[in-house]
């Protein structure tokens, strides 16, 4: 019997990847508009490479971009990038389609809700607060705060301990087969792979750890009904 | 004969102090609204003390605030503070009254314009770009970029060199008697003390370095006319 539904945050509840792409493109455009002498494609591709190498939370993307493009450091261009990036992020942050509708439905059905996410705790809370999603959740477990990343069992065990439930009483929903699905299944949780965004066709070697596969969050209430009956418990809905 | 007019940025062109106060108050309010168990006055005063001790560019104001208030670290509260702080800064940034009108007039009169400011180059450029003031200025000299702060002569000499003018051809306008007026006068520039904001009655021991004193930026065109005539050059307009 499921009592708690855990969600991944990025690209499961918050439409992060789409937002980041838009923000980066607007940043490059604004840098060029303020005089950076590079064409859009060159600069954008260099930025993507840089983010790929240094990670998306690296705080000096735009400084390093200038160095990589052999341009003299110019704080005006960096500021133009930073402004456009932040303006876009603040103005265009969106929930993944049907996220709020699903959360309301699950609360209505009596489920307790939690978030298990990687990333910087303040940045992750910012997303949740900006979308006004916080009232749905009892707790958010963030890897950089706990010192352990998904799919490490400890972060899942930590979440179970906070909610005082056993793994069989918990369902994990996420877009990444490796960190979300493999990770949660290893500690004994039920798992729903949300096939969405850039990980929709990646990490397929971990597909066997998904009990269910969905393309729309609104399929979750149905799956929970199936799990309640118990009859179909071992028969994945979509494989 | 004046050819270049230099401006300080914070509390001379951009209404920084008023904005910072509003942003800090909104941050505390949002932290309390998201569950931080402290009353407004206690939290706000602790924040002011902290900023006083660590400086306004210290990046961990809200973390340290929780520590000082003997509260457990809570990234949700910190995020609530950060969001409200940034939202306020972005939505409420304003020019100092008559700043743009004055800049237009000075350009119309044929003067070249520059900015000499302390602070972080990216943050200073952000303010200029968000207010769309950049097209008025040929150059902004920022202390943290040059490695030397006002009132050190080097930052003023640097500005003169960039504009290729002598000190007698330059006028410095700023709200701080120490960093702006004393600093500029020491290298031989003409000086206008803009009596505005929290420094309107401070550092008065440097008052003698101000050639002129104004309460409104729109008095500048008049002063430049006086300096053009040359007749009143040694007679401060308002002392």
In order along its 239 residues, chain A shows pLDDT tens digits of 999 999 999 999 999 999 999 999 999 999 999 999 999 999 999 999 999 999 887 888 999 999 999 999 999 999 999 999 999 998 899 999 999 999 999 999 999 999 999 999 999 999 999 999 999 999 999 998 888 999 999 999 999 999 999 999 999 999 999 999 999 999 999 999 999 999 999 999 999 999 999 999 999 999 999 998 865 444 454 54
- Residue-level pLDDT at A113: 98
**Beta carbons within 10 angstroms of residue B238's beta carbon:** 13
Q: A17-92, which class in CATH?
A: mainly alpha
Partner-chain contact B125 A90, CB within 8 Å: no
B140 near B163, Cβ under 8 Å? Answer: no
- Residue-level pLDDT at B55: 86
Pairwise CA distance, residues B11 & B17, whole Å: 7
Partner-chain contact A121 B82, CB within 8 Å: no
pLDDT exceeds cutoff 70 at B31:
yes
Enclosing H/E stretch for A142: strand A139-142
The pLDDT tens digits for B101-150 are 999 999 999 999 999 999 999 999 999 999 999 999 999 999 988 889 99
- Whether ipTM exceeds 0.85: no
- Residue-level pLDDT at B235: 46
Partner-chain contact B79 A123, CB within 8 Å: yes
Indicate left, alpha or beta for A50 from its phi (over 0: left) and psi (-120 to 50: alpha). Answer: alpha
Q: Which of A79, A90, A134 sits opposite B125 (nearest CB)?
A: A79
CA distance A79 to chain B (A): 5
Q: Which residue of B has its CA nearest to A139?
A: B76
Q: Which residue has the tokens 């401060």?
A: B236
- Residue-level pLDDT at A59: 82
Q: pLDDT-derived band of residue B230, with 50, 70 and 90 as boundaries?
A: low
For residues B51-74, give the mean pLDDT. 91
Enumerate the domain spans of chain B.
4-15+95-229, 17-92
The CATH code that applies to domain A4-15+95-229 is 3.40.50.1000
CA distance B115 to chain A (A): 13
């Amino acid at each position: 019997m499921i009592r708690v539904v855990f969600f991944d945050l990025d690209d499961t509840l918050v439409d992060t990847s789409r937002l980041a792409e838009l923000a980066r493109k607007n940043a490059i455009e604004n840098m060029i508009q303020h005089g950076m002498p590079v064409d859009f494609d060159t600069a954008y591709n260099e930025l993507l490479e840089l983010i790929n190498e240094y990670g998306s939370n690296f705080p000096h993307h735009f400084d390093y971009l200038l160095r990589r493009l052999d341009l003299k450091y110019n704080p005006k261009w960096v500021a133009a990038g930073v402004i456009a990036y932040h303006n876009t992020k603040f103005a265009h942050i969106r929930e993944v389609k049907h996220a709020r509708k699903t959360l309301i439905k699950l609360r209505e059905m009596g489920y307790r809700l939690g978030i298990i996410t990687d990333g910087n705790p303040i940045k992750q809370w910012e997303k949740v607060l900006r979308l006004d999603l916080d009232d749905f959740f009892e707790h958010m477990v963030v890897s950089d705060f706990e010192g352990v990343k998904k799919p490490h069992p400890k972060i899942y065990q930590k979440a179970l301990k906070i909610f005082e439930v056993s793994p069989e009483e918990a369902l994990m929903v996420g877009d990444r087969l490796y960190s979300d699905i493999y990770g949660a299944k290893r500690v004994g949780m039920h798992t729903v792979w949300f096939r969405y965004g850039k990980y929709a066709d990646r990490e397929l070697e971990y597909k066997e750890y998904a009990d269910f596969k969905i393309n729309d969050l609104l399929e979750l209430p149905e799956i929970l009904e199936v799990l309640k009956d118990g009859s179909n418990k071992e028969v994945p809905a979509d494989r």
